Amino acid sequence: GENVEQHPSTLSVQEGDSAVIKCTYSDSASNYFPWYKQELGKRPQLIIDIRSNVGEKKDQRIAVTLNKTAKHFSLHITETQPEDSAVYFCAASIGNQGGKLIFGQGTELSVKP
């Protein structure tokens, strides 16, 4: 079946450093790629998303890049802060329509002051 692989599973950085999380997907028809942040004990919340007609998208300190040929996309967080510590999930829509969304396994990011 279709899947999304996410790496690394854990990531520890110093405050102020950059963090990069990578995902690969298997369905060449996928056209929507969101990133969710889940703080400890909380529900997931969307932080940024990208569609297949765009190669890069930025929102302040976070950015997402998409390489459709290689079927991978990445989350970049610059100038990390302790409040960025959380679990991050990537996801990919299955097919170009329909209701399926597959999530990666998650990355636990720890930002040390």
Partner 1 sequence: EAQVTQNPRYLITVTGKKLTVTCSQNMNHEYMSWYRQDPGLGLRQIYYSMNVEVTDKGDVPEGYKVSRKEKRNFPLILESPSPNQTSLYFCASSPDSPRETQYFGPGTRLLVL
Among 25, 35, 73, 89, indicate the residue that binds partner 1 (CB under 8 A).
Answer: 89
**Of 81 and 101, which has the nearer Cβ to partner 1?**
101
Alpha-carbon distance of 81 to 111, in angstroms, equals 6
Q: Nearer to partner 1 by C-beta: 16 or 55? A: 55
Q: What is the spatial distance between Cα 57 and Cα 46, in angstroms, rounded to a whole number?
A: 14
Nearest distance from C-beta of residue 44 to partner 1, angstroms? 5
* Footprint (CB under 8 A) of partner 1, residues 44-83: 44-46, 49, 51
Using the rule CB under 8 A, which residue among 11, 13, 63, 102 binds partner 1? 102
106 is a site residue for partner 1 (CB under 8 A):
yes
Determine phi and psi for 83, rounding to 5 degrees.
-70, -5
Which spans in 1-113 are helix H?
A: none
CB 22 within 8 A of CB 74: yes
**Rounded Cα distance, 97 and 87, in Å:** 28
Residues lying near partner 1 in the complex (CB under 8 A) are found at 1, 6, 9, 31-32, 34, 43-46, 49, 51, 89, 91, 93, 97-106
